[in-house]
Chains A and B, each alone.
Chain A
């Protein structure tokens, strides 16, 4: 995680001073996105990852809206069919309670994606707000906020998340809060350093001269410039949130049974590594592939934003 912070921090797009602020910013932004999309499309691993992620999202939504589409009810126990090895009927086999592992992995995408997106949303909103305020206001406000962020960073994130879970109690909703909360500082730091850079630029000075309010300046001039690094960080953040959630599930701090969560399924399957290795291998693969996809996409977006790396 430290690496992603360091890289995201160091590789923000360099903005050039501009004389006619608003129009230029808009144009610049638009062309930047086009550039990025173009460059991203050249990146095969990132595009493959994007396809995987879109597919996963479709699976999650479809199984949520119409769970009947699954060939088996992922919660329906059938003890007479427990631990059937992978076959044409059960592609990934069945678990101890005779439930189809393939269906449970599919429906498990709901929890993993929800945790990934919601926890990132939490840290994103709070982190961006705190970082923007700290960077823009400066002085005492800045010191207080950033010192507090330093303190949170001083505890390994998974340990902090686990401590939160210990205090709040088990459950996926609490996992989302815990994971979201612990990554706030990363966003706050990125946004703050960007804000500090942008604040010095001429067009913000110009905006100030024509009398724009602080809020207007932050929303119209500062945030659009911060977006690239935030998007990169958020994409990578989803992958680490999914990993953290799986870790909580593995430790038995995640979902309440019979809910299907990949980490929880993996932890359960661990007891049967000899009799039913598939009960552990497939959930592990699901986690790895999903996390890998978000990582590759994040890397791809970063490279796309970073002209220097594009030439590599």
Chain B
């Protein structure tokens, strides 16, 4: 007994020793802290914290502005990259950035930009006219690839006879862009957070992956991206614009999917700023002593009918659907005071000329009758699960509310849901009758909203609405100078949407963010991006 006892004990000891040494040997290869600095949370001499953490609902799709179309990506990218022009802090007015405001030829076709001198990308390469040209060229036909969702939106296409015909860089600081046709929104497009930002050509050269390893010239440098966890940025100490020098050393974007978890993280001091807030958590945020940022958003939350296939290709079927849903009651119940019922595609503060546009009125009896006459008893809705800037409670809850109304009208609606990133692929590939979607304006121009229904690209025009008359109006709007005539054109577009119902418009959401009282200088731009360079946190 005693012999075996000893040897057994030895055996266990040996096992322990073996596992311990092997683990230590592994660790011996030397771990390092992600940040070099010794103290990261402590204050610097100036009393400003070194790190600010912003929590959002999902990962970016990617970090190269040519290949993405979502706000999660835009929020991060606008800190890494510069654009030729920029929006003013609280509006969509154009101000100089990498270039001064351009000289525009009388025919409105030639734009001549003068670039800042001596700007460097984060990897030390030159951010000159040739680099900007390369960025635009890669998004023009025939270089353009199918996975560039914003390329035709910002730079136009041959088929539609719009957009950029050619780009020239006669010297390091001069850039000449020639358009195919005059375009009023074009100058605003040059400040957009998608497609327009200037990526270092070295970042997307052969063998480099700009989607995961972005290199820009902006106030913050990319450090790391742990999928599903965070993106870490650090201050670009050599930033060229003295007025926009980054104030905080590290900026971290964290991804926390559930609204309630993000609120917990904010109230618990784990993060400093959160967005994607819904009405139900506002009291929780303010009761904990945190601040609420609240401003009218430039967005639309809508449901698209599949116009080319499925149960709602017929106008009468779409009308019945719109009659079945009490949008007003639904918006009030789901979003409370933090979203307004959509009377049209654009929010009224953006397009006051749309005020007499009317959507199909709620009429459950007529809907029931129409569905019965049309023989529609079931349909499929595709939706996303995450909260979106235009839909703070997420697609699932909205889908189920709509499902509840349809049930009363005698239609069983099946809901198929995916996380946002997957959803965007599924909308392009899967069968469905209706789907939930939304839009956050990029540049404050009506074309940016109304063009969605004219876009060839399915990821923009998810309902596959194709209408020649509508497309002609859009082209006309592009070439018309700002003023009443142009407003009249977009009003006609809005009226067509109300009549034809390619979409059921739901709500315009307020931009909401919660932030710690220690945070100063935070604002949420109407285009849904967050510039962090001026944001500080007292330590």
Residues in A lying within 8 Å of B, measured CB to CB: 75-77, 79-80, 82-83, 96-98, 252, 256-258, 268, 270-276
Contacts and interface: CB of A to CB of B under 8 A. Distances in A.
Given A257-B415, A258-B407, A272 B260 contact: yes
Contacts of B332: 79
A97 B393 CA distance: 12
A276 B385 CA distance: 19
B400 A257 contact: yes
| Interface pairs A-B: 3 shortest CB-CB | A77-B404, A275-B280, A79-B333
Main secondary structure of the interface of A (DSSP, over half): loop
Given A75-B407, A252-B417, A257-B403, A272 B280 contact: yes
Contacts of B397: 96-97, 268, 271
A274 B260 contact: yes
Interface of B: 258-260, 263, 280-281, 283-284, 326, 329-330, 332-334, 385, 393-394, 396-397, 399-401, 403-405, 407-408, 414-415, 417
B403 A83 contact: no
22 contacts: A75-B407, A76-B404, A77-B401, A77-B407, A79-B334, A96-B334, A96-B400, A97-B404, A252-B417, A256-B415, A257-B399, A258-B400, A268-B397, A270-B258, A271-B259, A271-B260, A271-B393, A273-B260, A274-B281, A274-B283, A275-B280, A275-B281
Contacts of B330: 79
Contacts of A82: 333-334
Contact of A97 (B259, B283, B400, B414): B400
Contacts of A76: 404
B433 to A, nearest CB: 15
B404 A258 contact: yes
Given A258-B403, A273-B260, A79 B415 contact: no
A31 B14 CA distance: 54
A38 to B, nearest CB: 45
A258 B404 CA distance: 8
Main secondary structure of the interface of B (DSSP, over half): helix
Nearest to B267: A274
Contacts of A79: 326, 329-330, 332-334, 401, 404
A270 B258 CA distance: 8
Contacts of A258: 400, 403-404, 407
A271 B400 CA distance: 15
A98 B334 CA distance: 11
Contacts of A97: 397, 400-401, 404
Nearest to A269: B260
B400 A83 contact: no
A282 B105 CA distance: 68
A256 B414 contact: yes
A275 B333 CA distance: 14
A293 B263 CA distance: 35
B263 A274 contact: yes
Given A270-B260, A275-B284, A80 B400 contact: no
Contacts of A75: 407
A32 to B, nearest CB: 41
A80 B407 contact: no
Contacts of A98: 333
B258 A271 contact: yes
B32 to A, nearest CB: 34
A272 B264 CA distance: 11
Contacts of A272: 260, 280
B259 A80 contact: no
A75 B401 CA distance: 11
A243 to B, nearest CB: 22
Given A79-B329, A79-B330, A80-B329, A271 B394 contact: yes
Contacts of B258: 270-271
